[in-house]
């Protein structure tokens, strides 16, 4: 880590998700402009392990720094705050480290405080013991020794074709003052286990609620169909407000009939878009 950085925090053990959207925007202001004197986002991406062709593909992005941070976070278990600071130091961007140090430390302290808070879970969680070995160590932050499992505010049910919107959801709900913790399968779940077993474990025992991203592709997904029906079986009649459908783009196919009785969070109406994220965050924050 940078020799300029003196901190009581162990940044090497704090995942990159701790950094909120404001810090990421500031990083973009420093690194997005192509610079013939100082290293830019391309040097950072190279140090993160991205290939030449991958880096070239990011050139068309409006905010390449934001994109490489998201992709590095989703594909690399070693994407920690300490590693990012070390990379910035290696590419001689000590000015970035110095300018953002206080903001990064504040985000990391908030992340640690959230981890130390006693989890608030729906009743089903506390009753589901003992745990089988197959259901231990299934997410990135799980204790490999089988200690307290990683818990989430919401499981996100989505198709890969809707992943850009899921990225936006991560930014708006995790990396802002809402400070929610989402379970995004392709980011948080370790490979190698039975997908149906760990999905049901996460929905029933690890997540307070489930957000269903509705799209035409969602209607053709067997995985999404299983996840939705499983979540509905846990809260018949929507008594616990556990399942929240989200529509973010217009659809050609009919809205799924099994979800018609639920209140929908609709992003397609311009007149309500300014309230969308606040409403969704509030629904996910309910005890």
Predicted confidence (pLDDT) per residue in 164-217, tens digit:
999 999 999 998 999 999 999 999 998 887 888 899 999 999 999 999 999 999
The phi, psi pair for 264, rounded to 5°, reads -100, 140
- Report how many domains make up the chain: 2
Distance CA 56, CA 42 (A): 9
Domain CATH for 235: 3.40.50.10140
Residues 266 and 226 both lie in one domain? yes
Same domain, 16 and 85: yes
Q: Could you give the CA distance from residue 228 to residue 276 in angstroms, rounded to a whole number?
A: 22
Q: For 205, how many CA atoms within 13 A lie in the half-sphere containing its CB?
A: 18
Q: Which of 230, 110, 218, 107 is nearest to 166 (CA)?
A: 218
Cα-to-chain-centroid distance, residue 277 = 15
Decide if 39 contacts 48 (C-beta within 8 A): no
Split at pLDDT 50, 70, 90, the class of 124 is: very low
212, 246 Cβ separation under 8 angstroms: yes
Residue 188: CB atoms within 10 A of its CB come to: 23
**Using the 8-state DSSP alphabet, how is residue 245 labeled?**
E
pLDDT one-digit tens code per residue, 138-177: 898 887 776 788 999 999 999 999 999 999 999 999 989 9
Last residue of a domain, one of 96, 116, 136: 116
Classify residue 252 by burial, with Cβ atoms within 10 Å: 0-12, 13-18, 19+.
exposed
Do 276 and 138 lie in one domain? The reply is: yes
What pLDDT is attached to residue 123?
A: 44
Report the pLDDT value the prediction gives residue 192, as an integer from 0 to 100: 82
Burial class (CB in 10 A: 0-12, 13-18, 19+), 104: buried
194 and 243 together in one domain: yes
Name which of 57-61, 86-90, 127-131 the model is least confident about: 127-131
Predicted TM-score (pTM) of the model is: 0.61
In a domain, 59, yes or no: yes
pLDDT bracket for residue 127 (50, 70, 90): very low
What distance in Å separates the CA atoms of residue 191 and residue 207, rounded to the nearest whole number?
A: 19
| H/E run at residue 21 | helix 21-31
Tell me what pLDDT residue 239 has: 54
Which string of b and e fits 35-56 if b means at least 16 CB within 10 Å? eeeebbbbbbbbbbebeeeebe
Has residue 6 been placed in a domain? no
Same domain, 146 and 266: yes
Query: 206 and 98 share a domain?
Result: no
Same structural domain, 207 and 278: yes
Structural domain range at position 168: 127-285
Q: Where a domain ends, among 116, 151, 180?
A: 116
Q: If you average pLDDT over every residue of the chain, what do you get?
A: 85
Are the beta carbons of 240 and 205 closer than 8 angstroms?
no
d(CA 124, CA 86): 42
Domain identity same for 276 and 227: yes
The predicted pLDDT at position 217 comes to 95
Do 139 and 77 lie in one domain? The reply is no
In a domain, 42, yes or no: yes
Q: Final residue of a domain: which of 116, 151, 175?
A: 116
Residues 96 and 61 in one domain: yes
Q: Based on the fold, state whether residues 49 and 172 are members of the same structural domain.
A: no
pLDDT tens string 224-266: 999 999 888 887 654 556 899 999 999 999 999 889 888 899 9
Structure confidence by residue, pLDDT tens digits, 111-122: 888 777 654 444
- Do the domain assignments include residue 245? yes
Distances in whole angstroms, Cα of residue 257 to Cα of each of 1, 81, 83, 228, 266: 53, 44, 47, 12, 16
Q: How far is Cα 152 from Cα 207, in angstroms, rounded to an integer?
A: 5
Taking 50 as the threshold, does the pLDDT of residue 36 lie above it?
yes
CATH of the domain at 88: 1.10.533.10
């Amino acid at each position: 880590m940078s020799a300029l950085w003196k901190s009581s925090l162990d940044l090497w053990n704090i995942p990159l998700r701790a950094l909120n959207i404001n810090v990421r925007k500031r990083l973009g202001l420093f690194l997005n402009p192509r610079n013939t004197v100082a290293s830019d986002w391309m040097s950072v991406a190279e140090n993160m392990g991205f290939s030449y062709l991958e880096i070239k593909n990011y050139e068309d992005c409006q905010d390449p720094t934001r994109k490489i941070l998201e992709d590095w976070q989703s594909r690399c278990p070693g994407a920690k705050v300490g590693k990012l600071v070390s990379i910035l130091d290696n590419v001689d961007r000590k000015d970035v480290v110095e300018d953002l140090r206080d903001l990064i430390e504040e985000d990391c302290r908030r992340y640690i405080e959230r981890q130390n808070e006693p989890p608030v879970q729906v009743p089903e969680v506390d009753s589901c013991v003992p745990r089988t070995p197959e259901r231990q160590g299934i997410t990135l932050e799980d204790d490999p020794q089988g200690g307290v499992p990683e818990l989430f505010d919401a499981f996100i049910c989505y198709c890969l074709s809707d992943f850009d919107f899921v990225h936006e959801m991560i930014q708006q709900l995790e990396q802002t003052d809402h400070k929610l913790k989402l379970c995004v399968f392709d980011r948080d779940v370790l490979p190698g286990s039975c997908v149906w077993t760990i999905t049901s474990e996460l929905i029933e025992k690890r997540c307070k609620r489930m957000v269903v991203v509705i799209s035409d592709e969602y209607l053709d997904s067997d995985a999404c169909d299983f996840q939705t029906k499983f979540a509905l079986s846990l809260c018949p009649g929507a008594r616990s407000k556990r399942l929240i459908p989200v529509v973010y783009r217009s659809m050609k196919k009919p809205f799924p009939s099994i979800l018609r009785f639920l209140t929908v969070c609709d992003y397609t109406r311009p007149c309500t878009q300014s309230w969308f994220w606040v409403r969704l965050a509030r629904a996910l924050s309910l005890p």
